[in-house]
Amino acid sequence: MTLTEPGQRWAEQLLAWAIPDEIVAQAEVPPWSHDPKTFAVDETIDPTNPIFELARELLPLEGGTVMDVGCGGGRSSLPLAPRATRIVGVDENPAMLARFGQAADEAGVEFSEIQGRFPDVIIQAELAGRPIAQCDVVVCHHVFFNVADLEPFVVALTAMARLGVVVVMPKKHPLSAWNEGWKHFWNIDRPEGPTSDDAIKVIEGLGLEPEVFEVERPPMSRHAEDPASLVISARRRLCLPASREAEIEEWLRDHPPAFMGDVVVLRWPGGLS
């Protein structure tokens, strides 16, 4: 599809986040990778948080179905049970899907897994004559900033939802939390955009009218907040070698990453079939 001006603007700003090749070549761990333990379901999740209530409101009283795009370990969708009785997890990473499946099984929730990049995996299934059924609600948490072609992504989210789509995202690129570190260790200024406002313009440019809510960000998992894990995360995000971990740990004491305290929830109607 031909991108609108907001869609093109979004893509251009995301491309500016590319890390110089000469720095990536020095990384011992891929800087864009994620530790599956960070996305595991644990006791830090509060099912009454507004990000879940806003999705739960859309579900039928019984027998609700949810598709979780970029499901990770299920932190975005499993709190919707028991209102959601079946959850479809979509993720590129098989390790993430394994954690999702384990957590869903332990919670007694019916589930299925789809491995692949959304919406490509949906399109491929359609072309193969095995179309994937709509769900009542599609949730998508902390994925938008990984998607340069946001317009077709939003169209696909809407098409897969009978009743509504709920997207959760920070106001700014999540890796902007490490911008001070990039300046300190590499003397590089990182981008400021795009923002959630740019995402809203993309959605509105498609003729959709999202409701917009700002809510307190739920706590991160135990693993993410562990000091040792934070050092490892900093080393990965900043493309630094293990030999500099002591230096990173010392720097983090006075310069913790600027993780955002609030997130934006975007909610709009699905494409009723």
Q: Which residues lie below 8 Å from residue 132, measured CB to CB, with a gap of 6+?
A: 88, 114, 122, 125, 126, 160
Amino acid 156: pLDDT: 97
Three-class secondary structure of residue 115 per DSSP: strand
Domains for the chain: give ranges and CATH numbers: 5-24+36-176+189-220+258-269 (3.40.50.150)
Predicted structure pTM score: 0.91
The C-alpha atoms of residue 213 and residue 250 are separated, in whole angstroms, by 37
Amino acid 37: pLDDT: 65
Amino acid 35: pLDDT: 67
Q: Is residue 85 within 8 Å of 63, Cβ to Cβ?
A: yes
Nearest to 89 by CA among 107, 64, 57, 115: 115
Three-class secondary structure of residue 265 per DSSP: strand
Q: Which two tokens stand for residue 239?
A: 């493309």
Q: Which residues lie below 8 Å from residue 75, measured CB to CB, with a gap of 6+?
A: 39, 40, 41, 45, 141, 221
- Mean pLDDT, contiguous 10-residue spans, the chain (273 residues): 88 95 91 71 81 96 95 94 96 94 93 96 93 96 96 97 97 93 96 96 96 86 63 93 94 89 95 67
Handedness of CA 195, 197, 200, 205 (dihedral sign): negative
Nearest to 50 by CA among 220, 174, 269, 213: 213
Amino acid 1: pLDDT: 63
Neighbours of 117 (CB within 10 A): 15
